[in-house]
């Protein structure tokens, strides 16, 4: 076991460089809360079942019902994993707000060897470039709509983002950005300029071109040439068919294998007050690849834990680096600990 631990620490030093340039932190704060649309209170039971399904999809990153049946067939009912539920009115629509028990869900996933994805989630930046053939080409932004399809894309990204627990984002353009983008000539690349302003894990570029009467071309990350008299509805169907498997693939890269268990020593510097300590403990519970912590020492503004861990070193580091409140410090190759710094 000691040899496994030493290999773990040595590997940390190697992969540290890989992740040091990718950290920007994006957490899905309401990971264990589902907002399920509900028509009336007579359908609460149905909405509870649907919210449970969505919770399993979100936590596992897998849109297949197989994990749902694994849990149900294990003898656990849906309501066993729910803390509370209530009807909420959001922008004039009724939703059932269902809060799930984090500890019980993670334990159940571990028991059944179902992978999990923690609070740290991938960020996908979408660049939709529109060329109608009659107006000046433009990029769809989250703060301005020009065509009906702009709102369709915004709504779809928002819906999929909330359901699956992933950040599907559009750029935001101020007046200066708009002027600069419109000033690019045929030799320049506005896509690179826009992408350079954002942090993201993946970039999706889709160009939408009108080739003539009812004739459209999607190019870039989707390549489809089609004829349509109901363009907005058809492009919504095409994009939905692309988006669902793309989300599955993106989330799979963040999965933590609960069937793989180990331990590591974690030292965290920068704990200067009792409030720091309380806040750190609260935030450490949000790192799902570290299910258990035992305090070994606490001195000189540094707290050291013996930590039980799930998954590979790579997945642990990815989750730590993405959480936004811890920095990985340089580790000596033969160090006995993972050295971190707590950011206020």
Mean pLDDT on 206-232:
90
Percent of the chain, pLDDT > 90?
52
pLDDT over 60 at 190, yes or no: yes
Is the pLDDT at 25 greater than 90, yes or no?
A: no
Q: Kindly report, residue by residue over 227-284, the tens digit of the pLDDT.
A: 888 888 999 999 999 999 999 999 998 899 998 888 888 999 999 999 999 999 888 8
Q: How many CB atoms lie within 10 A of CB 275?
A: 9
The whole-number pLDDT of residue 336 equals: 57
Report residue 134's pLDDT band, with 50, 70 and 90 as the boundaries. confident
Q: Which of 289, 298, 270, 300 is nearest to 8 (CA)?
A: 289
Taking only Cα atoms into account, the Rg of the chain, rounded to an integer number of angstroms, comes to 23
Pairing of strands 261-269, 224-227: unpaired
Q: Is the pLDDT of residue 24 over 60?
A: no
Q: How far are the Cα atoms of 156, 170, 236, 253 from residue 249, in angstroms, in the given order?
A: 18, 19, 20, 7
The tokens 């309401």 sit on which residue? 30
Asked whether the predicted pLDDT for residue 8 surpasses 60, the reply is: no
Confidence at 186, pLDDT banded by 50, 70, 90: low
Q: What sign results for the dihedral spanned by CA atoms 98, 103, 109, 111? A: negative
Name the burial class of residue 202, with classes exposed (0-12), middle (13-18) and buried (19+) by CB atoms within 10 angstroms of its CB: middle
- Closest by CA to 112, choosing from 62, 163, 72, 77, is 72
Q: How far apart are CA 48 and CA 37, in angstroms?
A: 10
Answer yes or no: are the C-beta atoms of 146 and 158 closer than 8 Å: no
So what's the pLDDT on residue 137? Answer: 85
What is the per-residue pLDDT for 334? Answer: 52
Give yes or no for residue 48 having a pLDDT over 90. Answer: yes
Give residue for tokens 């290999």: 7
110 — alpha (psi -120 to 50), left (phi > 0) or beta? alpha
Which one, of 50, 28, 29, lies nearest residue 38 by Cα? 50
User: What pLDDT score does 20 carry?
Assistant: 35
Q: Which pLDDT value is given to residue 335?
A: 52
Please say whether the beta carbons of 152 and 196 come within 8 A. Answer: no
Sole residue written with tokens 């013996």: 306
Binned at pLDDT 50, 70 and 90, residue 184 comes out as low
Cβ neighbours of residue 262 closer than 8 Å, sequence gap 6 or more: 4, 5, 8, 308, 309
pLDDT at 273: 92
334 CB-contact burial (10 Å; exposed 0-12 / middle 13-18 / buried 19+): exposed
* Mean per-residue pLDDT of the chain: 85
Where would I find the beta strands (DSSP E) of 65-214? 82-90, 93-100, 123-131, 138-139, 167-169, 202-212
pLDDT tens-place string over residues 64-118: 899 999 999 999 999 999 999 999 988 888 999 999 999 999 999 999 999 999 9
Average pLDDT over residues 35-59: 91
Residue predicted with more confidence, 344 or 239: 239
Residue 285 pLDDT greater than 90, yes or no: no
């Amino acid at each position: 076991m000691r040899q496994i631990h030493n290999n773990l620490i040595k590997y940390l030093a190697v992969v540290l460089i890989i992740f040091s340039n990718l950290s920007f932190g994006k957490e899905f704060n309401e990971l264990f809360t589902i907002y399920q649309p509900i028509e009336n209170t007579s359908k609460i039971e149905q909405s509870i079942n649907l919210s449970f399904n969505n919770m399993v999809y979100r936590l596992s990153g897998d849109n297949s019902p197989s994990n749902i049946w694994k849990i149900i067939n294990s003898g656990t009912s849906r309501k066993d994993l729910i803390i509370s539920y209530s009807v909420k009115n959001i922008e004039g629509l009724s939703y059932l707000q269902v809060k799930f028990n984090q500890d019980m869900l993670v334990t159940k996933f571990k028991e059944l060897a179902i992978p999990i994805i923690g609070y740290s989630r991938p960020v996908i930046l979408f660049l939709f470039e529109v060329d109608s053939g009659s107006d000046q080409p433009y990029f769809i932004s989250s703060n301005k709509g020009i065509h009906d399809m702009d709102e369709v894309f915004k709504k779809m990204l928002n819906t999929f983002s909330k359901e699956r627990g992933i950040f599907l984002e559009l750029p935001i353009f101020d007046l200066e950005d708009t002027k600069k983008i419109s000033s690019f000539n045929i030799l320049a690349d506005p896509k690179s300029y826009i992408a350079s302003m954002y942090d993201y894990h993946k970039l999706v570029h889709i160009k939408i071109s009108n080739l003539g009467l009812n004739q459209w071309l999607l190019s870039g990350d989707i390549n489809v040439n089609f004829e349509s008299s109901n363009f907005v509805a058809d492009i919504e169907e095409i994009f939905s068919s692309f988006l669902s498997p793309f989300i599955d693939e993106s989330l799979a890269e963040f999965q933590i294998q609960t069937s793989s268990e180990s331990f590591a020593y974690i030292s965290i510097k920068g704990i200067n007050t009792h409030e720091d300590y309380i806040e750190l403990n609260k935030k450490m519970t949000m790192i799902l690849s570290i299910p258990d912590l035992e305090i070994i020492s606490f001195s000189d503004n540094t707290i050291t834990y013996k930590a039980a861990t799930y998954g590979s070193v790579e997945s642990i580091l990815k989750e730590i680096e993405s959480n936004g409140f811890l920095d990985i410090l340089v580790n000596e190759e033969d160090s006995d600990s993972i050295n971190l710094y707590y950011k206020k």
